[in-house]
Structure 1
């Protein structure tokens, strides 16, 4: 299917589809009438597979159909059973798809009405095809939830970019916060602290028409940060303090996103993973929460002299191996927290550093980051870009740790999609010799934003920051070595 045809079909469905499935979610039909209340969403797309997701209103069978044509004449179908135990959510892995092919899909619950979406598979592994994607973080925080007048209109602007996929890097909900009315659509007035409340917050988000419509038409890869569970948490620490909250938050996240649970028996909710997009890019989505030491710990420990870890030994080794084996032009390391800004959302210094940088105290995770960067340098791994969020302002930084006048790697960040906007921190950790190419924001301003990255056929990479009005706030093009 041509790019032009894909764009035309996408626009037609975007106009009609959101109303279809959102109205289904708000229907006053009798409780026993099967219907889709949330979704559909496609995710984890590869050159030959996709994970599809939806939620129904009663126990039953979700049937997912996938076809190369919008009349579904040649559709293949996969089913998923849903019930109370999974809050009527279900997903299906569809395999044996063709590379770089646009597919239409639909899902129905039992004999209920179907809702539709579409996705395009990734290029073949040996195909250096151009592509573009959007990314962002921090949705629905500090009372900036679903505006009754505009909703999350930033996703309408995203859809207009016609991206190949969406990378949601973390803080997909704000469980510890509330969405007061009348400033927001009712439904999230209380913080989420248990399984039902976590589930309710995801449902609240997915009932926004612009957001739901965008996700129906754009494949998503999603990661988490802290607000899916609790502000600034570490997995091992929360497992001791409140194991039920940790378990509930993880369960709800996996129930409400098209993310396949790992088959590694020792780590049911493993989220770190790698995906490729043709020959041009490998993406390494990190889990910076589940294995990290508490943020109050020093780096290294003044007692044992052991460095802190954010990734844990197994994830760190996995990342090293993946980067060393990657033959892609660009290697994107997706970290939910920034590298050189000492914290994400500002906290009293006694609480410690939440991001990688140590800065003026020793409570960051800098030793582990330096070990990773030393490995990258020692293995001659080129064209590494870190994609980050969490700061509540967008920025671009080049790094020249060997101080030879040429950047060794870059960090591009987008935040928030819809949360409090903050001014850029005045100081950076100088360890990696950073140069700020761009940083923008003012306290409680309106710079809701997302990042857009385009990779050309020759490998040139362009990073843009786009605001909710569709204006380009920054653009930077870099070329691969």
Structure 2
């Protein structure tokens, strides 16, 4: 499943745009771009793979730092997809428009491909060729599959560190990349040490969100990770506003004011991610929860824990997101982190799964994190424990095979066990994949937290990085990969590797 094309992928950086001009058949993508300026400075990406198709993405920009983008003009963009990286066996091609209304982003939904194989793709506009990306289709539904590799990460604050993790993630040659939120940070520059600045203002409207994405996407290592494999993405809070949930964040904005901001943020998110047309936002609404099957080997369900959640609980006694563990409001079974419709959808995807491995991609630490002073955070699952309990009971009652939760958000690596009640045998295993560059927690504090939460078997907060999941019919492994997040040229090392035993939940260190 992992081909010798890896040599090709290691060279994918922003400089890859210097490949030769496209063949004459592309000439209808006329020379509209500003003379001599490369419009592919934000790279290419693919996502949402199916057995017969995939989404190809790019966004035209000659100056990623400009607030105004490319202005009101539309541009012709040609695309092609091939079975080889030399484009000798082209299996699809076409033309589309990059329109100002979409931030000059292009989403091409390619169909008619063969299941379970690699493809290479590229774009051309104004006589400029884009970098070449690699993608792949999923295996046929029900197919027997011998391996799946997923690289997953989250939290890539631009100003606090470089993206060495993405460079190594690309070199790991994953079949699929799962990104679990905080792709951008919306705020002005913070109090942390600024290694590389962006505009010192908060993104609050469509133009400023578009600019923030372009600022991030100019990074060569992030472009390499996007070009290495198809992505499945989910947002967290910073794609909109810190700690937001439902129709409110932590600012004094009214619900109407906040929803207008959320609509702009959702629009910019869709424009900048390799998503399908049916995910296009309707104002401040955008359905992003979905699932993906990898033959009979694995099912990945990805949930949205921001858009539909109930209001934060126990606010009268809230202090720095911390609330008393025994707050009665917190335990209300009517409260939901996911909303009623999404919970029903997830229960159905769990109950009807025939997959050997059942993965839940969710934004944060799913397991309980009780603090030493008898408090929990109200910004995640601990603020909505009834939702967590219902999911665990559904896994248990449906006798679903090998449930594994993958998470991000907390800027730390965690490996833990998930049970309906403390002290009971685990129903599922959880692995939180650290952060790409956002600063974390001291290990001294994490060790103290583990003492109070014995179901957390591993914790590391001082190292940046990502997680890697390798699944086979016989078993699986999860590897935490660490870099020095402050160093652009950092090497990578394995922090810890865990064996995932077929048919048995629990954390087992390799």
| TM norm. shorter chain > 0.5 | yes
Q: Is the 8 A contact 2:12 2:224 kept in 1?
A: no
* 1:14, distance to aligned residue in structure 2 (A): 3.1
- TM-score (normalised: structure 1): 0.85
CA distance in 1, matches of 2:211, 2:384: 34
Q: Is the 8 A contact 2:481 2:494 kept in 1?
A: yes
Q: Is the 8 A contact 2:189 2:197 kept in 1?
A: no
Q: Which deviates further from its counterpart, 87-96 or 34-43?
A: 34-43
Where does structure 2 lack aligned partners over 5 or more consecutive residues?
21-32, 62-69, 250-254, 316-325, 484-490, 504-510
* Superposed CA offset, 1:109-128 (max 9, x none): 25433431111222222122
CA distance in 2, matches of 1:370, 1:406: 14
What residue number does 1:178 align with? 189
**1:14 is aligned to 2:31:** no
**1:327 is aligned to 2:354:** yes
Q: Is the 8 A contact 1:34 1:111 kept in 2?
A: no
* 1:74, distance to aligned residue in structure 2 (A): 3.7
Q: Summarize the alignment of residues 43-192 of structure 1 with structure 2, pairs less than 5 Å apart.
A: 43-57=47-61, 58=70, 59-75=74-90, 76-125=92-141, 126-140=143-157, 143-145=159-161, 151-178=162-189, 183-192=194-203
Q: Is the 8 A contact 1:397 1:410 kept in 2?
A: yes
What residue number does 1:275 align with? 292
CA distance in 2, matches of 1:439, 1:466: 13
What residue number does 1:360 align with? none
* Superposed CA offset, 1:276-317 (max 9, x none): 112111011100000011223579975995621111111000
Q: Which of 246, 253, 257 pairs up with 1:235?
A: 246
Cα RMSD between the aligned structures? Answer: 3.2
- Structure 1 residues 461 and 305, CA gap change in structure 2 (3 angstroms): closer
CA distance in 1, matches of 2:56, 2:190: 29
Q: Match of 1:12, SS?
A: helix
* Superposed CA offset, 1:365-420 (max 9, x none): 00121122222222222311111111111010023446787432111001211011
What residue number does 1:371 align with? 390
CA distance in 2, matches of 1:211, 1:196: 22
- TM-score (normalised: structure 2): 0.80
Q: How many residues align?
A: 451
* 1:480, distance to aligned residue in structure 2 (A): 1.8
* 1:177, distance to aligned residue in structure 2 (A): 4.3
Q: Is the 8 A contact 2:392 2:419 kept in 1?
A: no
Q: Is the 8 A contact 1:17 1:116 kept in 2?
A: no
CA distance in 2, matches of 1:330, 1:303: 32
Q: Match of 2:42, SS?
A: strand
Q: Which of 381, 403, 411 pairs up with 1:356?
A: 381
Q: Is the 8 A contact 2:13 2:223 kept in 1?
A: no
**1:477 is aligned to 2:494:** no
* 1:44, distance to aligned residue in structure 2 (A): 1.1
What residue number does 1:148 align with? none
What residue number does 2:339 align with? 312
